[in-house]
Amino acid sequence: MSLPLIALFVAAFAFGTTEFVIAGVLPQVATGLGVSIPVAGYLVSGYAIGIALGGPLLTFATTNLQRRTLLLGLIAVFTVGQVACALAPGFSAMLLLRVLIAVVHGTFFGIAMVVAVGLVPPERRGFAVALILSGLTVSNVIGVPMGAAIGNIWGWRATFWAMSLLGLLASLAIVLWVPRTKGAAAPRSPLAREVGVLGRQQVWTSLIVMLMLMIGQFVPFTYIAPMLQDVTGLDPSVIPWILLLNGVGSTVGVFIGGRLSDWKLMPSLIVMLALQAVTLVVLHLVSPYPWPMVFAVFLWGALNFAIGTPVQTRILSWTADAPSLASSLIPSGFNIGIAMAAFIGSTMLNSGYGYRSLPLVGAVALIVATVVALISYQWEQRSGAMRPLPANSAATS
């Protein structure tokens, strides 16, 4: 494993931790800033909106910067932002800071994906994407529990001080290990070309698959804790361990997805989408039974992230000649899907449907994704289209 990819993994781990750790210290943050817990919850939704909307805009505003320089700048803003969060005097300031960090987050993951696939030969692109994604899954398994523990022991502001140290570590790793661009800064693609590549069917169909995947995952996952408690009958003290198991499954799934992407991307993707639809039906059926439910939650988490890797690899492969906008839309698509999923789940519950119905909605979304992926692959096979080459290979660093 190359040191540049490890550096990008460390940075992805830092961003993933700061996005999700807020949930672990939300009651303390609410008390410390003098607001209710529901109001403090806007720190979560505000972050998602910042990624979805601000990430692509900042990407375009920084298109003339070399990618290594941009990565360092983004990490610097992240680090200073964590310090500012630790010192935030009130809720409004905290919300503004979280949105600012989220905009940087959205841009970072788009650029980091482009840099990662440019550091490896084409047959290793899936692994490179998987490694960056694993920064998110590992942050849920290690970073978020540690951040929450720090907050419980020393207060929530200490959690953000710890995040700032993580930002410094990521900065050092990028300075030491991510190579400089060779020669002059490469010109970026004009706006018309960046938008134009989105018209390739492989790109927009992959974005649809990504959206369906997020709906399929987060309609049930948003309410997984009350589902495990009220339907499965698990004690609340057991639920964090089930979520940890889901996170472990996600981490395993990321690397399985990376290997499959480098082997047979589209056939693997189609099969995994179909399997995930079946898994969600199984999740519905076994939800009243603790041990089968525990296994289903593990498998569900593994497949979710195994699918995410080939979807992103496909988008990056088919936009290699103009990747900036498309890469920034990847984290945007994820967060739009998460927001839609939470709304759909809430609407269903408010309409009188129970928690057991939520996996079935996810199954329908995955069936749609499977059909879209299958049609897209057949379309690609008939057209004989060739993947584009990078406009300038030097630009990938």
| Cα 382 from chain centroid (whole Å) | 32
> Given this model, what pLDDT does residue 191 score?
64
- The answer to whether residues 186 and 392 touch, using CB atoms and an 8 Å cutoff, is yes
**In the 8-state DSSP scheme, what is residue 235?**
-
> Given this model, what pLDDT does residue 395 score?
40
> Given this model, what pLDDT does residue 270 score?
96
Strand intervals (E) in 247-384:
none
> Given this model, what pLDDT does residue 182 score?
46
> Given this model, what pLDDT does residue 397 score?
38
Please give the structure tokens belonging to residue 216.
Answer: 């399929």
> Given this model, what pLDDT does residue 5 score?
93
Angle (CA) 340 342 347, round 5°: 95
Phi, psi of 184 (to 5 degrees): -70, 160
**In the 8-state DSSP scheme, what is residue 265?**
H
- Over its C-alpha atoms, the chain yields an Rg (Å, rounded) of 20
Burial of residue 292 (number of CB atoms within 10 Å: 0-12, 13-18, 19+)? middle
- The answer to whether residues 162 and 349 touch, using CB atoms and an 8 Å cutoff, is no
pTM: 0.78
Q: Cα torsion for 103, 252, 342, 132, to the nearest 10°?
A: 10
List of the chain residues with pLDDT < 70:
1, 181-191, 391-397
Question: Tokens 């080459």 sit at which residue?
Answer: 389
Please give the structure tokens belonging to residue 153.
Answer: 């022991």
> Given this model, what pLDDT does residue 168 score?
97
